[in-house]
Structure formats: structure tokens, C-alpha cells
Amino acid sequence: MTTLDCRMDSIVSVFGSYVDWDVKSLLLFTAVFILTADYIKTRQPDSFPPGPRTFPIVGNILNVDFTRTHEILTQFVGRYGDVFSLRIGQTWMVVLNGFEVLKEALVNQGDSLEDRPYIPLVEDVSHGRGLIFSNGNTWKQQRRFAFSTLKYFGFGKKSLEPIILDEFAYLSSELTSNFLFNCKGKPFNPHLIINNTVSNIICYLVFGHRFEYSDEKFVKLMKWFGKGLEIEVSIWAQLYNSFPLLMRRLPGPHQTAKHIWNSTNDFIREEIKEHRQNWDPSDQRDYIDCYLNEIQMRNGQGGNAFDEENLVMCVMDLFVSGSETTSTTLRWAFLYMAKYPEIQAKVQAEIDRVIGQSRQPSMEDRANLPYTDAVLHEIQRFGNVIPLSLPRVTDRDIQLGGYTIPKGVLIIPNLTSVLFDKNEWETPDTFNPGQFLNKEGKFVKRAAFIPFSTGKRACLGESLAKMHLFIFFTSFMQHFTFSMPAGVKPVMDFHFGITLAPREYEICATSR
């Protein structure tokens, strides 16, 4: 080797060492910078609620099993108290637990928790429109209009009863002729047909017509609808909401959810298009007609939140709030009646005594059916259909449970902790309709029974859901007896989504 070669090797060696050290320094600097920025960005005051230790960048994502989030959050109560914090990605959230804490936050301090937070996966579809995730003037205008319009068409009123009873008649006919072969007790999966039945009431109010159970387009829509709600609270949704710039470009179930909601919106737009073609402002047939009239009346006004895209989102939100919770509750009801045949028999005996078989149930019968009412309430409590209320966000600093929660923090009301609160229920972990009855057997309202949440942002469809549930449940008990297929025991497992739904099952319904 020549002297020149030796010198060149030395130069390369020194340069290589320098480059290697420079890369290490750059990586070290980058890591320190990211960790420091993460700490500064997510730092909270000393009086902030406690919670599990967070990891850089991802926060507490690794601490939560998103297939049973409500159970994990309720377990944290024993360690951190009724008001505790979590960080999912870069987003801090405070979880509220127990009836007294939720009442203080959502009712007594409800004005501070009126708004919804920015959630990227939701925002990418709704763009701040609709009834559920809109805020400010848009939310107030849309909610006020929805209440007044739906009330006009019988929302929560006796005039809607015949529509619900007619739909039950369609369902009963479908069950006896197609699914159960003249009610011989053949097992069937109630999921889709119950979804279609309940959704048809919303269709009547919103579209002015119902869909046949055999309508493939509508059946497919209902099937995907439930899947979308399940994805919305999955780990994929949490990753999307924590790292939206990255996740918007990556494949996965989060993209499926966006496709589902966009397809649903297209379905609604087609209905609106058909309404426009034969729309008569002097003849308001349904919610869409009234909304189109409102668009025309408010055209050109300042602060106007009425346009066709808002209409699309409002219709979507009405389906979420007015059908999903009810259909899921009824699916739990069938399981509980099959699991507790003695309770089912007692409900049927009360219905036979008060209503008989010669007439249809009415909301007026409710006062005379205390045990049936108690069973239905216990199904809602124990079924825990909405385990976590939709999130709020603080619009100012608030004090809660001895802690300071700054402005802009996401709030999660844990309804599970209320419906199973040991301070409020005699047997919180046991299915017991007696918790809604006094010593004389009369129905008793319970303050901690808030399956639809509470406060200004309580579920819009609560009054409709109550009517749905009572009339449908009473009608089912009047005409059918539910049991599991031979040799099969009820499995009370769940799918965690926006609603807590039972896993797919088959059941037998025998005509009485």
C-alpha cells in the first residue's frame, strides 16, 4: 500500500467517524426535541385530575382495551377516584364517574360542557354540521327545529302510536310467515329485522315512507350502519383522532368507516333529491319537506345554518339517536327474557290481565303495567346500551371533585359507572327488576337511571325511544314467548361500539 493510499484511508476513517457521530447526535437531538415538545404541549396544572402514567407520543393508548373501554375506565375508578384523566395520543380527556359527579358536571355546570370536541374522524364526515356534533348557533338552531318539527309529526306523542303498531304488525307477519315457518319455534337471528323495524319509524318521520324488509339497498345500509358505529370507538378510530395527518393516508378500518358514512349520506341525498322533485311548500309531508321549506324561508339571512348539507347530517343523526339505541335494547330484551323465563312469564301474565289479546298496547297502559315497566327499565340499565356518553369539551376552566379542569379538555361521562353505581342500586351487578318497584309493587322512578345521559346534550331521541321500547316490548310479550334453541344457553357477551350490542345470536319466538 502506498503512502497516498494510507493517507486516503485515514481521511475516510476520520470522515466516517465524524458522519457516524453526527447522525447519532442528530437522532439524539430529534428524540430530545420530540420528548420535550410532547411534555410542553401536554403539560397540565398540578390540580389536574390524576390518572395512569402516560407514555410519550401515544399517551395511554396502551392502557386501554378498546374492545371493552367502559369496563377499563370503570376499573380505574378504584385506583384514581371518580374524576380521573387519560391521554390518548396528544389529547387529554377527563373521565367522570358516579351519579353525583355526572349530575354536578352535566346539570349544575352544564353551560360549561355544552360543546362537542373536535374529533377528526367525525369532522371529516360531518364538517361541524348536524345535530350531534355541531356547536354554538348551528347546534341550537338545528336542535330547536328538529324538536318542533318532529313533535308536529307525532314525536313522543300518542298520534305516533298507530305507526309503531302498524310496523309491529309488519314485523309479526314477517316473523310468522318467513322466518319462523308459522311460529314453530325455528331459530332466527333478530339483528337485521329488528334494526329495519325500528329504523322504519324514523323513515316515516323523516322520509315520509317505510322500507320493505326485503329492500336489499336498505338492508345493506342498516348492516353497514352498525359496523360504522362499532369502528367509531375502536383503536383505529383512536389512532385516527390522535394522528389524523398520518392516518388519513393509511389504509384500515377507519377508511371503511368513512366510506360507510359517505355512502349513508349519498343514500340520504337521493331521498332529498326525490323530495325536491315533487315538493309542495303548502303540503309538508315529513321532516325533509319542512327542512326544505326552512332553507327557502331563511335564504339570505345572516347566521343561517340551514342548507342541504346540514339537512343530510341531521337526518343521519336522527337515525343514530332514534333507532340504534332502541333496536339494540330490544335485542338485549329477547336475550334477557330467554335467560329468565320466570320473569318473562310474569310480564306476560300482567299484560294478559291488563290488555288481554283482543287489543293493541298503548302508552296509556304503562301506568297499569308496573312490573312490565320495571323489567323494561332493568333491561336498559343492565344492558347498558350507551356505556359512555358522547364526549363534551370544557369551554372554560371548571372546578370538579376538587380538581381544576382547564378550558379545551375533552370530557367523557361514564354512564356505566352510574347504572352500576353501588351507592345508587341495591343489586347493581344482578338483573333485578325489583329495583324499580316499591313494597306495594308500584313502579318507582330512579334518579340514577340515565341511560340516555342527562343535561342539555342528552339524547335527542329519548322520548321516541321510550315510546318505541314500551310499545314494541309489550307487543312482543303479548304475542310471542322467547327461548333459546335446544341445548343452547344465552351468551351475554357484547360488541363495544357507540352502543353496547349483544354478540350475534339466534333465538326462537313461539306464538302465544
- Binding site members for heme: 459
Distance separating alpha carbons of residues 196 and 193, to the nearest angstrom:
5
Question: 264: closest CA among 224, 206, 216, 208?
Answer: 224
3 state DSSP class of 91: strand
The DSSP bridge partners found for residue 500 are 496
- Residue ranges at the known binding site: 459
* Helix, strand, coil share of the chain (percent; to 5): 55, 10, 35
Measured in degrees and rounded to the nearest 5, phi and psi for residue 87 equal -125, 115
Q: Are 260 and 236 in contact (CB under 8 A)?
A: no
Helix (H) or strand (E) holding 508: strand 508-511
Residue 271, all three cell numbers: 331521498
Residue 495, all three cell numbers: 360488541
Residue 419, all three cell numbers: 347504572
Calculate the alpha carbon distances from 33 to 26, 59, 92, 176, 495 in Å: 10, 17, 21, 68, 40
Cβ–Cβ contacts within 10 Å for residue 278, how many? 9
Q: Cβ contacts of residue 419 below 8 Å, gap of 6+?
A: 381, 382, 384, 425, 428, 448, 449, 450, 451
Question: 289: closest CA among 208, 203, 199?
Answer: 208
Distance separating alpha carbons of residues 484 and 340, to the nearest angstrom:
11
For the chain, what is the total number of helices (H) and then of strands (E)?
A: 18, 10
Question: 261: closest CA among 317, 181, 212?
Answer: 317
Distance separating alpha carbons of residues 411 and 193, to the nearest angstrom:
35
Environment class of residue 140 by beta-carbon count within 10 Å: exposed (0-12), middle (13-18) or buried (19+)? middle
DSSP H stretches of helix in 278-369: 287-298, 308-319, 325-339, 341-354
What would you measure as the largest C-alpha separation in the chain, in angstroms?
113
